[in-house]
Structure 1
């Protein structure tokens, strides 16, 4: 870590370090939100799914606009505005009571996340050489999962599924992160602006995105994969917390979240080093298969051992999809539209939005006693991502061959 801090740009250090602490705070609260809404507020599972899913829906278009805006006016101002607002949102979660309050707050939560996350990744790419970007994206993802390993354990101790005090702690963590960004990066404004192009319009940005067929197939496939990944914090949380075959379900789910994080810490670099030998789109197909196997495993599990094994499969898929998606987008994006392209990835949030609702409907239909039917249906849906990644890779190869022949 000392070598990491000595080598990289201050923006990389701030984002990676801040990501670790804010994600620890985030995972103290948000993985337990579905359980909190159901058990403490008495909200129906399908309605809980809608509340959780609305976050991703607002982020779908918000991320593209935020990425475009960061290319126009700068990364740091947009990031700072988003994270200050994010801090206020977590205070809102602590004092909210009515169902519509949670809808509104989670809408803002999704908007803040869709602005901050892709812009921070674009900023990392701006200040890092191309050959080092995979390493930096890995470091950021590693920090996320260190936080994810710490947060649920603390959240369990704080009783987040039935208490609101962890939301105040999360709000404070995000406020401190915002202040750190402002203070640390203030002296690098002109340097950070070099990666930003201010001369293209929203119309021209949309035209480029619409005509990029590889990006289109990637986004559709990724949307389906995100539908599978979204089940962890919503459908799986409610299922394990309430299914009669699992004792101490809330604590068991917390340990599964920790398993997810620890597996990333152990396997992230071996998996990414291995998968990097494949074309990004093919790697995404492997990740999609891992997600499908994980969902099927959750439906078949009757004890904690099989749940842990299934979570490991889900984690492997998560590692591949999250890291390789950034690599693919960086390859596809023109230099002056990097923020717009990374923002366009927010369109996959349609999967994050639809996934919790679909999972909630399946739970309401089949009940907590019939996990196989719930997760079996989700497995079949998640497999639909495979042909889109295959088509996208085919187009990518054709374009590469045409470009090679023309030169």
Structure 2
């Protein structure tokens, strides 16, 4: 009985390190990338180049993440977290040297690569809980700290780009988390040596085949999710004429609902069945995506507030639950790889604005709302099917 205590202590410590690491990396992300596009364009470069600089991070994160998942599965994930934070500390010091465009290109690519390795390692650490309830609460906490970073990051970013000497605070914080991660003992619960493992490429290809339905489902949800901060925002500000101040107020409302309401919602639903949680989230998310089509009427502002409320509730229920689903259904020895495949769905955030713009220009904004709701519904029902298929296979 006493031999399990170190493992439990390590699990708790690893989860705390993972959450601190997620918060720091996302804080750095939200403090820099909203300003990088404007900074690159302001330096005289083309908007196309600025878009490439920003998108580079998502591309390298998705590609490197596959190798990062294999690395976390085959090595101690907490050590991977520590090394990634040491790398993050070094990278943040890079912006202390220069804000030149070529430096920002390098920063974006390397930041994505670090995050690609970091995310599956932190998710694996959070997935190592004794019960499904604890696992879902851990992924809910991860989602919460990401949104907390999203609320704080842009404010810090404005100060950082005006007073670059704030960057060492980020670097020192990342360094401390890195040292803490490296100081934790390696796996106390490592199983005895078994048969030789397949080559990493074999693991990746096998996982891609097995989880292709789940990856497509989450990507569809991300395509729909991306509309709220791109095509929908443009429509609200310009086409409806409500202005940037009203849209900014909607986003503050969105952030406030997540920061103050998410812990309550997740505590109530963490013990519920996945299908119940995801279905309720689908109804809320779909309604939040459909209602903006009705915002051109006399009560347009009230309709948009109601839409944002529904959208946020759906987001809180669907996104953490889908992440936890991949963690719950994946085998223990390839869990981080499965979670890195989940992170491939971020490519939907890049494709979403492009697809949304084409739909608005060809079919109109109401059609975009309907198709976004359909995409979210298709993705969500795909996750339900994935859950039931795995339950049938294991039963």
Which bracket does the TM-score occupy, shorter chain normalised?
0.7 to 0.9
TM-score normalised per structure 2: 0.77
Query: 2:62, 2:344 within 8 Å by CA — same for their partners in 1?
Result: yes
User: What is the aligned counterpart of 1:386 among 367, 374, 377?
Assistant: 377
Distance in 2, matches of 1:40 and 1:362, equals 32
Q: Which moved more, 1:187-196 or 1:9-18?
A: 187-196
Q: Which of 333, 349, 352 is residue 352 of structure 1 equivalent to?
A: 349
User: What TM-score, normalized by structure 1, do the two folds share?
Assistant: 0.75
3-state DSSP of counterpart to 2:186:
helix
Aligned in 2, Cα 1:135/1:245: closer, same or farther, shift over 3 Å?
same
CA RMSD in angstroms, aligned pairs only: 4.1
Q: Deviations over 1:243-280 (max 9, x none)?
A: 68244x2x555544432221112321343345446543
Aligned partner of 2:18 among 15, 18, 27: 15
Partner residue, 1:148: 150
Closer/same/farther in 2, CA of residues 287 and 127 from structure 1, 3 Å limit: closer
Unmatched 5+ residue regions in structure 2? 1-8
- Find the aligned partners of 1:125 and 1:148 in 2 and give their Cα distance: 23
Contact 1:53 1:355 (8 Å CA) reproduced: no
In the alignment, which residue of structure 2 is the partner of 1:227?
Answer: 223
The CA deviation at 1:347 is 1.8
Q: Return 220-229 or 86-95, whichever deviates more.
A: 86-95
Give how far 1:233 is off.
Answer: 4.8
Alignment of 1:7-406 (within 5 A): 9-20=12-23, 23-33=26-36, 43-44=46-47, 51-87=53-89, 95-96=98-99, 98=101, 105-126=107-128, 130-155=132-157, 158=159, 164-165=161-162, 169=166, 171-191=167-187, 194=190, 199-212=197-210, 215-235=211-231, 245-247=241-243, 249=244, 253-276=247-270, 279-280=273-274, 283-284=277-278, 286-298=280-292, 301=295, 306-359=303-356, 365=361, 373-374=364-365, 376-377=367-368, 379-381=370-372, 383-391=374-382, 393-394=384-385, 396-398=387-389, 400-401=391-392, 403-404=394-395
Cα 1:135–1:275, aligned 2, differ >3 Å: closer, same or farther?
Answer: closer
Ranked by relative contact order (alpha carbons within 8 Å, sequence separation 6 or more), the top structure is 1
Runs (5+) with no aligned partner, structure 1: 1-5, 367-371
Secondary structure, counterpart of 2:346 in structure 1: helix
Partners of 2:224 and 2:231 lie apart in 1 by: 10
8 Å CA contact 1:149–1:259 kept in 2: the answer is: no
Aligned to 1:369: none
Report if the CA contact (8 A) 2:224-2:375 is conserved.
no
* CA deviation map 1:61-88 (0-9, x unaligned): 2212111112223323433443444455
Task: Work out the CA distance in 1 between the residues paired with 2:91 and 2:31.
Answer: 15
Q: Cα distance 1:243–1:38, how it changes in 2: closer, same or farther (>3 A)?
A: farther
Q: CA deviation at 1:299?
A: 5.8
* Contact 1:25/1:173 (8 A) holds in 2: no
Paired with 2:354 and 2:10, the residues of 1 have a C-alpha distance of 44
Cα deviations by residue, 1:332-359 (Å, 9 ceiling, x for unpaired) = 1111111111111122122122123334
